[in-house]
Amino acid sequence: MNIEVNNISVEANNGETILDVLKRNNIHVPTLCHIKDMLPSGACRICIVEDIKTGKLIPSCSFPAYDGLKIKTHSYKVINARKTIVELLLANHPNDCLYCDRNQNCDLQTLASDLQIKQPRIKGQKEHHNLDFSSVSLKRDPDKCILCGRCVRVCETIMGVSAISFINRGSRTFIGTALNEGLNTSSCINCGRCVVVCPTGALSEQTQYEKVIEAINNSEKTVVVQYAPAISVSLAEFFDIEAGTDVNGKMNAALRRLGFDKVFDTTFSADLTIMEEGTELINRLQNGGKLPMFTSCCPAWIKYAEEFLPDMLDNISTCKSPQQMLGAIIKTYFAEKIGTKPENIYSVSIMPCVAKKFEEQRVEMGSESISDIDAVLTTRELAELIKTYGIDFKNLEPESADSPHGERSTAGKLFGVSGGVMEAAIRTAYAKLTGNELEDLKVEAVRGLEGRKEAKLNINGFELGVAVVSGLANAIQLIDEIKKGRSDIHFVEIMACPGGCINGGGQKLHSDIEDIKKRMQSLYIIDIDENEPLKVSHKNKEVLDLYEKFLGEPNSHKAHELLHTKYHKRDVLL
């Protein structure tokens, strides 16, 4: 069928909303509350268009297209209505744009500019709520909330957590936690999905920016940095470089120019994780251990399990995440190697995730009052740091990471995408159990951005069942099946963020799905690159050298002391 948009005939399909049709035809209409691929809430009315036949203003996000419909997207009436909506929002909004985390990256600010709102026309009494700095990962400024509901919807629908919701009614409505307590006592899992979808500065990460700068300028500290596998294919977008471009070498150079003494690649410890986790899986399979075994790389998933699935904690691998494993090795093996005390090393990690800020301060993540990691910066914070120091990122000459924790396999690099941990583990587990390498290292069944993937693999006559889920709502469905008796799944990879770390809560805000796909494809391209000879974790020479000189063997007593941990039931306010 056809509809008429701004006097131009446009083709529409049955079941599409007006907004669907407009977006498919690259006709811009602003939105605030809308989230792609989710049912419309129609809360903000910014997306209104004018029905020419009736003269009515209709919300394009929820109004179905029909044959013969005629609309204007930017008529005089539409623009005035949108302008009034934004002015009403601004009337109850703080005027501290210069100091806001989202300055020049705020949907409300952009709308005000586009609609030529230059001075306040509507005045009223502003609401005032307490700032919430209780969480180590996130901070909340309810005064900047415009009640679009995006955060509430992703927390409930994508994550299955519902840590925040609408409180009160009418003009007294605001978004808060259960009993309006701090985020630290709520069921929040620190995933940061709310930060990613928030259109203003109402939600943002707790920054450790100043701590890192202070450490770099402390001559008594050896400041070491590591970066996650997903960072090198995500950072480019902050510097007007094609999305998905692998800027690993430029990033190494930038980190040295920032003043870090050593630059390590967390992909090294992804390989180390596979050695430990693969050995643990084999032991469980051969010795009647608790199955299925769940991965433990994602701290948001771990906190979810501690709060909502305490009866399943024994199913979770005891391995620390790659971030924490490398942190532990840096404060022990590396400290010995350079002849310094652990307390004289300041260890920083660059992560695509805000939950890593929560993970690094857990009491389990260290020993003898020495934390494995001292500070965590997100991809966004790293980009800000590089810009603050005036580094010409685009024109940097590529450099390599430092040894002894810089070598990595392409299998470890796949940790950045949903299914990557599983694929890397399958390659190593197969080799350990059969004595042979997989003929085709590519495990297609666990690749892609789908929220749930399953596969069966024949290993020496045993059919190993594996599952990969991202987005905790998908994980909940699978776990319900397992609780009801499903027994054909032995190993499960769980990532809180849809698509995995390439779409983490610390990545670039407003990331387009096509950009996320490009990040994923870049990791797959690295894996098949002929110039990348190391394809499996168990052949990483630096990892093998670490076992020979320091750890002994995978799952040894020393490895368990440094690289493994335990998780505990948490009580939350509900």
Q: Is 400 a catalytic residue?
A: no
Which member of 155, 297, 319, 497 is catalytic? Answer: 297
Q: Map tokens 């701004």 to a residue.
A: 6
- List the chain pLDDT tens, one digit each, 574 residues: 999 999 999 999 999 999 999 999 999 999 999 998 898 988 999 999 999 999 999 999 999 999 999 999 999 999 999 999 999 999 999 999 999 999 999 999 999 999 999 988 898 788 889 999 999 999 999 999 999 999 999 999 999 999 999 999 988 899 999 888 999 999 999 999 999 999 999 999 999 999 999 999 999 999 999 999 999 999 999 999 999 999 999 999 999 999 999 999 999 999 999 999 999 999 999 999 999 999 999 999 999 999 999 999 999 999 999 999 999 999 999 999 999 999 999 999 999 999 999 999 999 999 878 999 999 999 999 999 999 999 999 999 999 999 999 999 999 999 999 999 999 999 999 999 999 999 999 999 999 999 999 999 999 899 999 999 999 999 999 999 999 999 999 999 999 999 999 999 999 998 999 999 999 999 999 999 989 999 999 999 999 999 999 999 999 999 999 999 999 998 765 4
Reading the block at residue 60, the tokens are: 């394009």
CATH number of the domain bearing residue 110: 3.30.70.20
Does residue 446 share a domain with residue 341? yes
Enumerate the β-bridge partners of residue 70.
Answer: 4
Is the residue at 477 inside a domain?
Answer: yes
Question: Taking the CB of residue 104, how many other CB atoms lie within 10 A of it?
Answer: 8
Does residue 420 share a domain with residue 287? yes
DSSP for 307-361, written as a single string? HH-GGGGGGB--BPPHHHHHHHHIIIIIHHHHT--GGGEEEEEEES-SHHHHHHT
Instruction: Provide the residue count of the chain.
Output: 574
Does residue 176 share a domain with residue 106? yes
Which member of 145, 148, 298, 501 is catalytic? Answer: 501
Does residue 415 share a domain with residue 499? yes
Give the angle subtended at the CA of 89 by the CAs of 96 and 83, to the nearest 5°: 110
Does residue 222 share a domain with residue 345? yes
Reading the block at residue 209, the tokens are: 């920016």
Is the residue at 33 inside a domain?
Answer: yes
**Domain stops at, among 149, 181, 205:** 205
Q: Map tokens 């007007």 to a residue.
A: 240
Is the residue at 101 inside a domain?
Answer: yes
Which member of 16, 276, 280, 306 is catalytic? Answer: 280
Rounded Cα–Cα distance for residues 239 and 236 (Å)? 6
Q: Is 56 a catalytic residue?
A: no
Is the residue at 569 inside a domain?
Answer: no
Which member of 277, 360, 407, 493 is catalytic? Answer: 277
Rounded Cα–Cα distance for residues 175 and 148 (Å)? 10
Q: Is 219 a catalytic residue?
A: no
Is the residue at 251 inside a domain?
Answer: yes
Amino acid at 177: T
CATH number of the domain bearing residue 276: 3.40.50.1780
**Domain stops at, among 167, 186, 205:** 205
Rounded Cα–Cα distance for residues 251 and 552 (Å)? 33
Q: Are 489 and 312 in contact (CB under 8 A)?
A: no
Residues 6+ apart with CB under 8 A from 214: none
Does residue 446 share a domain with residue 515? yes
Is the residue at 469 inside a domain?
Answer: yes
Q: Is 364 a catalytic residue?
A: yes
Q: Give the three-state DSSP class for 464.
A: strand
> Is the whole model's pTM more than 0.75, yes or no?
yes
Residue 59: give the domain boundaries.
Answer: 2-74
Q: Is 501 a catalytic residue?
A: yes
Amino acid at 72: K
The end-to-end CA distance of the chain, in Å, is 48
Among candidates 108, 111, 116, which has minimal Cα distance to 92? 108
Q: Is 50 a catalytic residue?
A: no
Does residue 126 share a domain with residue 28? no
- Phi, psi of 417, rounded to the nearest 5 degrees: -125, 150
Is the residue at 570 inside a domain?
Answer: no
Rounded Cα–Cα distance for residues 355 and 364 (Å)? 15
CATH number of the domain bearing residue 41: 3.10.20.740
Among candidates 43, 140, 126, 131, which has minimal Cα distance to 90? 126
**Domain stops at, among 189, 205, 221:** 205
Rounded Cα–Cα distance for residues 326 and 328 (Å)? 5
Which member of 356, 413, 508, 535 is catalytic? Answer: 356
Q: Is 280 a catalytic residue?
A: yes
Does residue 310 share a domain with residue 220? yes
Is the residue at 414 inside a domain?
Answer: yes
Does residue 505 share a domain with residue 431? yes
Structurally, how many domains does the chain consist of?
3
Does residue 315 share a domain with residue 178? no
Q: Is 487 a catalytic residue?
A: no
Does residue 357 share a domain with residue 268? yes
How many distinct helices (H) and strands (E) make up the chain?
A: 19, 19
Does residue 448 share a domain with residue 530? yes
